[in-house]
Amino acid sequence: MTVRDDSIHRDSRPLHAAPAWLDGQRIRIYAAFVLLVNIGYFSLRVWFGCIDRIPNVSPPGWDFAVFWSASWLALHGPAASVFDTALIERIALPLQNRLPTPFVTPWTYPPTFLLVMLPAALLPFPVSYLAYVSTGMAFAYHVCARILPAVRNASWWLPVVAFPAVWVAAGAGQNSFLTFGLMGLGLISLTRRPWLAGICFGLLAIKPQLGLVIPIALLFGRHWRVFVSAALTVGVFSALAGLVLGFDTFSRFAQALPAFSQFVVEYSDRWPRGISTAFGAARHFGVAVPTAYGLHAVVAALAASAVAWLWAARARFELRASVLMLATLLVPTYVMPYDLLLLGLPILWLVRDGARNGWLRGDGVAVVSAWLSPLVFYTPGDWAAGVYVPVIVFALLMVVVRRHLAQQAVRAGKRQLADINAGTGLAAK
């Protein structure tokens, strides 16, 4: 005889259907409105940056202008000259429609990324920018479709295309689509193609601060082949960059980093739109630099600990992937609005996990808030609205942790019910 204890069964199922206000029709309406906001802001950039040129209103491609300028310098002279801010600005500022300001336009990327961008200046700037952004978006979309196949459906296109970070990253011409694709493909390939996963993670040497948490996940998750593959990729990638560009580029990069870090610290309390990290938020509110670093270290330690815990506990893949991406945004001290494109990955994985396993109260609010958060880029610079983004990112991290605890509660309830049924069966005998 099997006993069904309704109280145990009820307590072991804390998840429920998606909230009614997040049905497909409403999502499309919300996304359509945000898409119009994105198009409006982008159009203003085109008009005032390209057509009716107003000084210091940068047209689309303002960050890609730095990449293109570095490519031009590397192709026409010693590659190490890209770390000379005066040389970079001489080429980049006209492309950015900018006048010199205290906020300089330096090249602060490692030689590995310079190697990737080396061919950029072989094409005229506008053509190179369009080719770069289009290729990156295609790569990112392929990853999105692998994570959530429903994205291939026309009805899902709208919220994906309307995600504000897509427009921020495309407008800047940043490398966010490339890092998004490498992160997503690496996680997708984790178990079935570990060597490919390691290669993807290793190629993130183009932006090392985004790879700080990956070793924690791989070590606690016991993905040894992925770890070895990533390490080998970083080594080969760096050696190739040194051979092509000259190994002196690494020493110049090492010299440039402290100067840029000091520049960020000096202006961190009045950075346009704010720095989207705990450190940036603390500095915006007047906290002293040592205390701001201390507060950031606490947040970073909590995020890294969550990664170690969920990966060691072998939580559902969607939760492990989400916590890794969220920690990737919380651990570095310097995160910009275009980096928030990476928020798209945990959003997609949480949508997939919610569709399969149900939702907890408040999950929908956190997911939608994260989806909207890159809109801070459209606010006036003196608002420094970006400093509030880390709160949203950390809240989404707590959503992932809570979902893992709910999963454990379900398993514990099932075990308890199984034990009761087993005991009842023995008693009957």
Per residue in 205-247, pLDDT tens?
A: 999 999 999 999 999 999 999 999 999 999 999 999 999 999 9
Token pair of 88 as six digits: 């970079």
- 172-195 average pLDDT score: 96
Q: Evaluate if residue 415 carries a pLDDT over 60.
A: yes
Task: For 156-177, give one letter per residue: b (16+ CB within 10 A) or e.
Answer: bebbbebbbbbbbbbbbbbbbb
52 falls within a domain: yes
288 falls within a domain: yes
Measured between alpha carbons, how far is 70 from 83 in angstroms, rounded to an integer? Answer: 8
Measured between alpha carbons, how far is 417 from 423 in angstroms, rounded to an integer? Answer: 10
Q: What is the mean pLDDT of the chain?
A: 90
Q: Evaluate if residue 424 carries a pLDDT over 70.
A: no
Q: Evaluate if residue 16 carries a pLDDT over 80.
A: no
CA distances from 295 to 135, 256, 280 (A): 38, 26, 10
- Could you report the per-residue pLDDT of 305-343, keeping only the tens digit for each? 999 999 999 999 999 999 999 999 999 999 999 999 999
What share of the chain has pLDDT > 90, as a percent? 74
Instruction: Tell me 59's DSSP state.
Output: P
93 falls within a domain: yes
CB 407 within 8 A of CB 353: no
User: CA-based angle 7:10:14, to the nearest 5?
Assistant: 140
CB 160 within 8 A of CB 167: no
Token pair of 128 as six digits: 């190179």
Measured between alpha carbons, how far is 285 from 308 in angstroms, rounded to an integer? Answer: 31
298 falls within a domain: yes
Neighbours of 408 (CB within 10 A): 12
pLDDT (0 to 100) of residue 3: 35
What is the DSSP track for 377-413? GGS-GGG-GGGGHHHHHHHHHHHHHHHHHHHHHHHHH
- Could you report the per-residue pLDDT of 80-134, keeping only the tens digit for each? 999 999 999 999 999 999 877 777 789 999 999 999 999 999 999 999 999 999 9
3-state secondary structure of 317: helix
- 144-158 average pLDDT score: 79
When comparing pLDDT for 389 and 270, which is higher? 389
Q: How confident is the model at residue 422 (pLDDT cuts 50, 70, 90)?
A: low
Measured between alpha carbons, how far is 410 from 414 in angstroms, rounded to an integer? Answer: 6
- Which has the closest alpha carbon to 32: 160, 181, 220, 187? 160
- 126-147 average pLDDT score: 95
Q: Evaluate if residue 416 carries a pLDDT over 60.
A: yes
pLDDT (0 to 100) of residue 99: 78
- Which has the closest alpha carbon to 352: 318, 328, 320? 318
The owner of tokens 């960050």 is 63
Which residues on adjacent β-strands are paired with residue 359? 16
Measured between alpha carbons, how far is 307 from 404 in angstroms, rounded to an integer? Answer: 12
Which residues on adjacent β-strands are paired with residue 16? 359
426 falls within a domain: no
Token pair of 324 as six digits: 């890794």
353 falls within a domain: yes
CB 129 within 8 A of CB 61: yes
pLDDT (0 to 100) of residue 396: 97
CB 392 within 8 A of CB 371: no
- Between 24-28, 75-79, 388-392, 421-425, the lowest mean confidence (pLDDT) is in 421-425
- Could you report the per-residue pLDDT of 277-314, keeping only the tens digit for each? 999 999 999 999 999 999 999 999 999 999 999 999 99
Q: Locate all alpha helices (DSSP H) within 150-223, ordered by sequence.
A: 154-162, 164-172, 176-188, 194-203, 214-220
- Between 6-10, 184-188, 294-298, 376-380, the lowest mean confidence (pLDDT) is in 6-10
What is the domain extent for residue 117?
A: 6-420
- Could you report the per-residue pLDDT of 349-360, keeping only the tens digit for each? 999 999 888 899
Q: Evaluate if residue 253 carries a pLDDT over 90.
A: yes
What share of the chain has pLDDT > 70, as a percent? 91
Domain count, the chain: 1
Neighbours of 375 (CB within 10 A): 19
Q: Evaluate if residue 1 carries a pLDDT over 50.
A: no
425 falls within a domain: no
Neighbours of 7 (CB within 10 A): 8
The owner of tokens 């100067």 is 259
427 falls within a domain: no
Q: Evaluate if residue 426 carries a pLDDT over 60.
A: no
The owner of tokens 């390691």 is 198
Q: Evaluate if residue 55 carries a pLDDT over 90.
A: no
